[in-house]
Amino acid sequence: MSNLEILSRPILQIARESRYRFPMDGKDPLQVSHDARQPSINAREYLIAAKANDTYIDRFLDERGIWTFKEGQNIDITGLTPQDAFEILQPFESPLLDLSMNSLLEGHKYPVEGSDEPVGLFNDHTYLNHIQTTWGMVEQFMQMAGVEDMQSYTDAAAAVACHDSFNFLGRSDHNLDAARGVRRMFPNLTGGDKGRMRNIQTAIFLHNEIVYRGTPFNLKDRPFDQKVELMKQIHTPMSAALLLADKAEIRRGRVIPQALRPQIVDAHEHTRGNLYTDFAGLQHVKGTLKMTLNHNPWVEQNNLLYAELLDGKVDDQFDQIYAPQSLKNPDGQISMEKVYREMWGLYGPHKARDADRLSLMIAAGFVLFPDTEAFQIDYEHKYDAQKVIQREFTLDNADEVLGEIALAA
Ligand SMILES: [Fe+2]
Ligand SMILES: [Fe+2]
């Protein structure tokens, strides 16, 4: 079967048949497999071991770890404003996102001195931080793309509200868990409109790069123009806007205070990406899509714990807090090329034709704005206008440029 035939089938059906498994049928305990590196265990036992909030655990899972949450049965966002939908979903999604902030055991390797509170994620995924900011971006991108139907915006608000909640069970499949979970939690969300429900689920499902790295939609090793073509077949404006926004949503404001320690900043590319780079806007002018990122190497004195922990690196006004293994040339000058690569370290690419965050983000731009001829990213130094790296990606040159970025590592 060709890839095109595979992609023409409803994507959640494909997901069901693929390696993805979602044990949320109310009969079996929810299983957790944290980033596929640990054996599956019962979600209740897992959350207790992770010192998660008892009230939250009891609200969602019974004694055997079976999902018993029934509070969202009557929620219907049909006809609501996007803002109302976003606010109505908050009391349901917020607790799950809060759970994820301390339940992921990977983060527990870095205990906070003097605190029993475990850290799960180093980057803020809570409702009023990442979720709200992402929603603002999605709304703006859909407006820029000319989406007029108000219900699409309301449905997009719901997709954004729900897209990351199932991180509390693990990072790897959180998109699939959330796509299935939204229907389980809110079976009447679209007033019985199956097409709208499927669109919301699709947008949630397609936001995580893991989807594009294997069954069922392998985009790895494909030329960039083919990636865009294939993505056009499975994406809607809502899902493309969410993918583009979610990958561009990098900000210092997302790094939680407990992560502002050298051992975490040095070890985690995702933390570094957020710490040093702020998304600063997207413009669509004729055939050019232009994204601006700000590089901010400085931390204001007395503002951040991390600054106090770095001996001998404090000047009078600011603390410069580069991770030691990167970013500087031997002569001590900052290499913006290296900064650029560093900021996208986790986002990729690690090689040409990768299915990484950066490539997928750029491809999502081409999908959402079909008249795009060039996607330009300006990476500006926040305090030095002379320092800027400009990259331009077209359907023809994207693989080459992405390959150059990978080599700058
Ligand atoms: Fe996510
Ligand atoms: Fe997200």
Mean pLDDT of 373-397: 87
Say whether pLDDT at 353 is over 60: yes
The residue with greater pLDDT, 155 or 215, is 155
Give the closest ligand to the alpha carbon of residue 246: 2
Ligand 1 centre from 328 Cα, in Å?
A: 31
Give the closest ligand to the alpha carbon of residue 126: 2
- Are residues 77 and 158 in contact, defined by beta-carbon separation less than 8 angstroms? yes
**Most confident stretch, 1-5, 219-223, 319-323:** 219-223
- Other Cβ atoms closer than 10 A to 330: 6
pLDDT (tens digit, 9 = 90+) per residue, 100-125?
Answer: 888 776 667 777 667 777 778 888 99
Give the closest ligand to the alpha carbon of residue 168: 1
Ligand 2 centre from 161 Cα, in Å?
A: 9
Mean residue pLDDT across the chain: 80
Domain boundaries, the chain: 1-205, 251-409
CA distances from 239 to 75, 199, 242, 245, 283 (A): 22, 8, 5, 10, 19
Amino acid at 324: P
Ligand 2 centre from 164 Cα, in Å?
A: 5
Pair of tokens at residue 338: 């290296």
Q: Can you tell me the distance from the alpha carbon of 261 to that of 369, in angstroms, rounded to the nearest whole number? A: 40
Ligand 2 centre from 333 Cα, in Å?
A: 34
Pair of tokens at residue 101: 């902030």
Give the closest ligand to the alpha carbon of residue 132: 2
Ligand 2 centre from 245 Cα, in Å?
A: 8
Ligand 2 centre from 276 Cα, in Å?
A: 19
pLDDT (tens digit, 9 = 90+) per residue, 124-138?
Answer: 999 999 999 999 999
Query: What pLDDT, on the 0 to 100 scale, is given for residue 305?
Result: 43
The residue with greater pLDDT, 252 or 328, is 252
Q: Can you tell me the distance from the alpha carbon of 159 to that of 68, in angstroms, rounded to the nearest whole number? A: 22
pLDDT (tens digit, 9 = 90+) per residue, 285-300?
Answer: 999 999 999 877 665 5
